[in-house]
Homo-oligomer: A and B are copies of this chain.
Amino acid sequence: MADRAGQRRIPEATVARLPIYSRALLETAEAGVGTISSERLAALAGVNAAKVRKDLSYLGSYGTRGVGYEVDHLVHEISRELGLTQDWPVVIVGIGNLGHALANYRGFGARGFRVAALVDADPTKLERKVAGLRVEGLDALADVVAQRDVSIGIIATPASAAQEVADLLVEAGVRSILNFAPAVVSVPEGVSLRKVDLAIELQILSFYQSHPPDRLVDESTETVREAQG
Chain A residues within CB distance 8 Å of chain B: 7, 9-10, 12, 15-16, 18-20, 22-24, 44-46, 81-84, 86, 88, 90, 97-98, 100-102, 104-105, 107-108, 110-113, 151-152, 163, 175-178, 182, 184-211, 213-214, 217-218, 220-229
Residue of B nearest to A177 (CB): B205
Closest to A83 in B: B210
**What's the Cα separation between A97 and B82 when bound, in Å?**
28
Interchain CB contact under 8 A, A228 and B186:
yes
Q: Which of A84, A108, A202, A204 has the most CB of B within 10 A?
A: A202
Q: Are B88 and A184 in contact (CB under 8 A)?
A: no
Q: In the complex, are the beta carbons of A184 and B227 less than 8 A apart?
A: no
Q: Give the number of times this chain occurs in the complex, counting copies.
A: 2
Apart from the given pairs A83-B207, A107-B199, A187-B226, 18 other A-B contacts in the complex at a CB distance below 8 Å: A18-B207, A22-B203, A24-B184, A46-B184, A81-B207, A82-B206, A83-B209, A97-B101, A97-B105, A101-B101, A178-B201, A184-B229, A186-B225, A189-B222, A193-B224, A194-B222, A195-B222, A196-B201
In whole Å, how far is A74's beta carbon from the nearest beta carbon of chain B? Answer: 15
**CB-defined A-B contacts under 8 Å, sample of 8:** A108-B202, A111-B202, A113-B202, A152-B202, A152-B205, A194-B205, A194-B222, A196-B198
Q: Which residues of B contact A81 (CB under 8 A)?
A: 207
Residues of the B chain whose Cβ atoms lie less than 8 Å from the Cβ of A200: 16, 19-20
Cross-chain contact A209 with B151 (CB below 8 angstroms): yes
Whole-angstrom distance from the CB of A9 to the nearest CB of chain B?
A: 7
Report whether B176 and A88 are in contact in the complex, using a CB–CB cutoff of 8 Å. no
Q: How far is the CB of A42 from chain B (nearest CB, A)?
A: 11
Asked if A182 and B15 make an inter-chain contact with CB atoms under 8 angstroms apart, the answer reads: no
Measured between beta carbons, the chain B residues less than 8 angstroms from A223 are 187, 189-193
Report the separation of the CA atoms of residues A197 and B227 in the bound assembly, to the nearest whole angstrom. 13
Inter-chain contacts of A184 with B (CB < 8 A): 20, 24, 44-46, 228-229
Q: In the bound complex, what is the Cα–Cα distance between A100 and B98 (angstroms)?
A: 9
